[in-house]
A = this chain, B = another copy of it.
Amino acid sequence: MSSGNPIGVFDSGIGGLTVFRSIMEQLPGYDYIYLGDNGRAPYGNRSFSTIHQYTWECVQWMFEQGCPLVILACNTASAKALRTIQQQDLPVQNANKRVLGVIRPTAEVIGNYTQSNKIGVLGTTGTVQSDSYPIEIAHFFPELKVYQQACPLWVPLIESGEYNKPGADYYVQLYLDELMSQSPDIDTILLACTHYPLLIEKIKAHLPRHIKVVAQGDIVAASLVDYLQRHPEIEQRLSNTGSRSFYTTMDDTANFDAHASLFFKSALTSTYVDVRKTCK
């Protein structure tokens, strides 16, 4: 058993570590590498072509580390880069590699959580404006009504360590009120941002008990378990010594490590890498 063929988990920053945590808990035996493109984060405001360029550079770097399979644990990259990578890049350059995102696996199952057929989606401004979730969910659950709400202050509240303090209550209530005012019949709320699980207790506390709050990590992990069962040609190429390595494109790795442990729920040590293809 070599540790040379890990599963790659990618995010523009550190939020993807909440998804990685869930994947690791459900599939602990494989080798993993995590890459955060913190040196170029946040991706949210950038154009389609820039997000595709950055994401593809990171994915190629993970392929070079031996990954047969890369998970884009990032809503922005999944919304704006994944299709081009799957349809244009991979067939030409890496036909035997696979790249999966977080939006489709979520869309495939989210309809199973609701009785009212009305769900809420909370995300960053970029994710909400992209309409990726309503569009993708309609493929699998055309009868569902999807209500969206952008929560632009939640990521800053989380990254500044205020997420579990009283001031955050105002902004949790503010965005939840704006969502629920769109339809009082919403009975399921999807956290469509990898940061938001850190606020999940406050979110639940501000909602009636019958409303389910769904984080993506467990859905994506369950979907990966299923994917590997259905694709033995990929699964058999994965090494499984249980190793985990963390990489970031931010040269201040200590800063990454300090923030990352909150999301990963245990201490970690990262290594700086330069993934740029066009700018070495």
Contact = CB atoms under 8 A, between A and B. Distances in A.
A255 B45 contact: yes
Interface string A21-46: 00000000000000000111000011
A40 to B, nearest CB: 8
A135 interface: no
A261 interface: no
A206 to B, nearest CB: 14
A178 interface: no
Interface stretch (A67-75, A154-162, A225-233, A237-245): A154-162
A139 interface: no
A164 interface: no
A147 to B, nearest CB: 20
A157 B167 contact: no
A236 interface: no
Contacts of A156: 152-153, 155-157, 160
A93 interface: no
A94 interface: no
A183 interface: no
A252 interface: yes
28 contacts: A38-B45, A39-B46, A39-B50, A40-B40, A45-B250, A45-B252, A45-B255, A46-B251, A46-B252, A49-B251, A50-B251, A152-B156, A152-B159, A153-B153, A153-B156, A153-B157, A153-B160, A155-B156, A156-B156, A156-B157, A156-B160, A162-B171, A167-B170, A167-B171, A167-B174, A276-B279, A278-B279, A279-B279
